[in-house]
Amino acid sequence: MSEPILLANIGEPDSQTLEKYRSSGGYEGLRRAISDMSPADVVEEVKKSGLRGRGGAGFPTGVKWGFVPKDSSKPRYFICNADESEPGTFKDRLLMEQDPHAVLEGIIIGSYAIGAREAFLYIRGEFADSYRAMAAAIDEAKHASLLGMKILGSSYSLEIHLFRGAGAYICGEETGLMESIEGKRGHPRLKPPFPAAVGLFGCPTNINNVETVANVPLILRKGAPWYAEIGCERNTGPKLYCLSGHVKRPGVYEAPLGVRLHDLIYEHAGGMWRQGLKLKAVIPGGSSTPVLRADESDIDMDFDSVAKAGSLLGSAGVIVMDETACMVDSLLNILKFYAHESCGQCTPCREGCNWLVKIVRSIEDGKGKSADIDLVENVAGNIMGKTICPLGDAVAMPAQSFVRKFRHEFEEHVRLKGCPLKGAH
């Protein structure tokens, strides 16, 4: 894939406007869906494309749409999750700010596919530019009969509500997000029941990430076989990768699913930011995913390959660290974020997050003991898999992987009573 697909309009003059979007084929996928296909046909087309969710879990999108019951007497809702909160991840806001109609068209097609007459776009509160761009796109679409009553002259109607969050990481979790829309604290719900059956306001609900829905118009416009040719087996389509940390050119890069991680770091992002420094570690999927050592990092960046390497593709927020990075301090930084963002609903997460911060801070400050290193793993193990939502796992996985992969650095901190890297570079 030499030319960008998802990012084709990014950086172009007036990329946010309906006129620009339609000039490159925008809303042709919606026209095809509503004019020539039944909702079931649309679901089947997305299934055939192989599109997997881009929010982190990588679940097949068409299969997820198919879970929404078609015989329910209750309203059905479609939610686009734009609460992009994972450290190291900044792709969704780029799409919303510079190509909002791609996101909007995907929401409309997805809503049609599950039979929803109301949809919600839940935007992180800090994303003021994203909110303004999406609000303007919704207004343009309504005036062009692409949204609202009798879309494109059909019998299908849809209303989209913009909902601004208040900047809580926990509301990126789909059930916490629904609680927030309902006007409650963003406390995640126990599952089952799952949102497809009992979701927003107790009604059948589908929730997809921004990047996921932005792929949908491409599939409807160019066809599932075309889309399935991009990427690799079981990991189809284009993917947005966020590169940050110790690289020359941090930013959002598009490549087919399965691109080599080394290509992302050394070709797309230009390699290490300072000459002569070597790669030390990479977090491949955002701060909640297990870290990889440099010698483990020559992998394909698709869901299955990254999992096989011992980490997760997640949101594809690639955080690069060179040899100047202190792994104890890096872990402490991650742990402080999750301790701050824990909603406090589950005891293992509420107590364990703060306990981990205290232990790792003690090691970083030169006050730690050898037993503290094992204690980090032990506490993390008592959080992992024991909470209502994945935030507990998001704390435990980095904690365990940093200690296991870079135990010698933790031991050095204890032995030297401080960080050996401070002032070394």
313, 58 in Cβ contact below 8 A? yes
Which token pair is 238? Answer: 């284009």
Instruction: Give pLDDT, residue 422.
Output: 77
Instruction: Give pLDDT, residue 423.
Output: 60
At the topology level of CATH, where does 18-229 sit?
Rossmann fold (3.40.50)
How far is residue 261's CA from residue 317's CA, in Å, rounded to a whole number?
A: 12
At the topology level of CATH, where does 235-322 sit?
Ubiquitin-like (UB roll) (3.10.20)
Which token pair is 165? Answer: 């969050």
Architecture of the domain made up of 327-416: Up-down Bundle (1.20)
108, 100 in Cβ contact below 8 A? no
238, 62 in Cβ contact below 8 A? no
* Distance (Å) of CA 419 to CA 124, 324, 401: 36, 12, 19
356, 339 in Cβ contact below 8 A? yes
Cis preceding-peptide flag for 204 (omega within 30 of 0): no
Alpha helices, H only, 50-126 = 61-66, 92-98, 100-114
- One-letter amino acid at 271 equals G
Instruction: Give pLDDT, residue 57.
Output: 85
**In 245-257, which positions are buried (b, 16+ CB within 10 angstroms) versus exposed (e)?**
bbbeebebbbbbb
How many beta carbons lie within 10 A of that of residue 14, not counting itself?
A: 11
What's the chain's Rg over C-alpha atoms? 22
How far is residue 342's CA from residue 353's CA, in Å, rounded to a whole number?
A: 8
Instruction: Give pLDDT, residue 425.
Output: 52
Q: Is 2 exposed, middle or buried (0-12, 13-18, 19+ CB in 10 A)?
A: exposed
Instruction: Give pLDDT, residue 424.
Output: 57
Same CATH fold, 235-322 and 18-229?
Answer: no
Beta strands in 95-209 (DSSP E): 118-123, 159-164, 205-209
Instruction: Give pLDDT, residue 1.
Output: 47
How many beta carbons lie within 10 A of that of residue 119, not counting itself?
A: 24
Which token pair is 96? Answer: 């919303």
Mean pLDDT per 10-residue segment, the chain (425 residues): 86 95 96 97 97 92 96 95 95 97 98 98 96 98 97 97 94 96 95 96 97 98 97 95 98 97 96 94 96 96 96 96 96 97 94 97 96 96 94 96 97 94 66
Alpha helices, H only, 165-284 = 174-181, 210-222, 224-228, 261-263
Which token pair is 106? Answer: 């995907």
Instruction: Give pLDDT, residue 346.
Output: 94
378, 362 in Cβ contact below 8 A? no
